[in-house]
Copies of this chain bind each other. A is one copy, B any other.
Amino acid sequence: MGPDLALRAIAEPHRREILRMVRTHELPVVEIATRFPTLSRPAVSQHLRVLCDAGLLSMRRSGRNCFYRAREDRIDRLRAYLDLFWGDRLAALKRAAEREARR
B-contacting residues of A (Cβ < 8 Å)?
Answer: 4, 7-8, 10-11, 13, 16, 20, 23, 72-73, 75-76, 79-80, 82, 85-87, 89, 92, 95-96, 99
Bound Cα distance A89, B92 (Å)? 15
Given A23-B87, A72-B95, A96-B76, is A4 in contact with B8 using a C-beta cutoff of 8 Å?
Answer: no
Determine whether the beta carbon of A10 is less than 8 Å from that of B7: yes
Determine whether the beta carbon of A13 is less than 8 Å from that of B4: yes
A8 proximity list for chain B (CB < 8 A)? 11
Report the minimal beta-carbon distance from A58 to chain B, rounded to whole angstroms: 15
Closest to A19 in B: B85
Determine whether the beta carbon of B73 is less than 8 Å from that of A99: yes
